[in-house]
Amino acid sequence: MMVAAFSIAFIAAFIRGFSGFGYAVLVVLGLNLVMPAQQAIATAILLDLVCCLSLIPRALHDYHRVLLKELLIGMALMLPVGVWAVNYLPAPLMSLIVGSVSLLGGVLLWLNIPLRKLHHQFAIPAGMASGLAMTTASAGGPPMMVYLLNQPIPSAQKRSTAILFFAVCSGCTCVGLALSGLINGNTLHWGGVMLAPSLLGNFCGQKSFQLWGHLPFQRGFAPLLILMSLWVIVRHW
């Protein structure tokens, strides 16, 4: 189990270091196979917050200010709903929600269908959808990236905006989960176990982005997300 946790953490962190998203959803899908969904979500979001700290300084130079503000407004509107769902929905149902939301996001990323009507005026709804998916399933990355990939801004700006959005989202969600008692000794234990491979993956992902940031990363990430999502759904059906 320890080797699996290390591998999940490194791969997820590498993808997030390269693309700006994907860490929490891959970690929660992996941990969901060995612990209750609520505990997996709390661990994934806590790690997501800690590991993104090293990405923030560079992201502060490139992010889209207006877009980020509107995305965060949408996230804040849905945060209480997501925290309530994690606390009160049964664990098996939460596992199916995690798998289903992640599967949908993976399919959307794989198809990569241009949605040119997703202009800036839809930033608040996009923030709402991503914030709700993040708090209930740690799967806020796919809906956010579907939105950002259809914005006419440079890839570095998309990546930086995503990093800062999920840093704030993870921080706010951690506060809500801590007040609800879901961040406990077990969460801190697994967070400590997976921290080192996560930081290493983050570093390798950042370096890879500097070399190959022009590559279409979603085509490599989407199949992995789809397969892991189907695994979780079948296991908890």
Closest listed residue to residue 107, CA positions, set 219, 233, 232: 219
Whole-prediction pTM value? Answer: 0.78
Instruction: Report the 10 Å Cβ neighbour count for 175.
Output: 13
- Tell me the CA end-to-end span of the chain in Å, nearest whole number: 23
Give the pLDDT band of residue 216 (cuts 50, 70, 90). Answer: low
pLDDT digits (tens, 9 = 90+) for 12-67: 888 877 776 778 888 888 887 778 888 888 898 999 888 888 889 989 999 999 99
What's the CA gap between 176 and 190, in Å, rounded?
Answer: 19
Q: How high is the pLDDT of residue 195? A: 92
Per-residue pLDDT at 219: 59
Q: How confident is the model at residue 171 (pLDDT cuts 50, 70, 90)?
A: very high
C-alpha to C-alpha distance for 229 and 146, rounded to whole angstroms:
17
Mean pLDDT of 153-175: 89
Q: Does residue 71 have a pLDDT over 90?
A: yes
Distance, CA of 188 to CA of 123 (rounded, Å): 34
27, 229 contact by CB (below 8 A): no
Confidence of residue 146 (pLDDT cuts 50, 70, 90): confident
Task: Return the pLDDT at 2.
Answer: 77
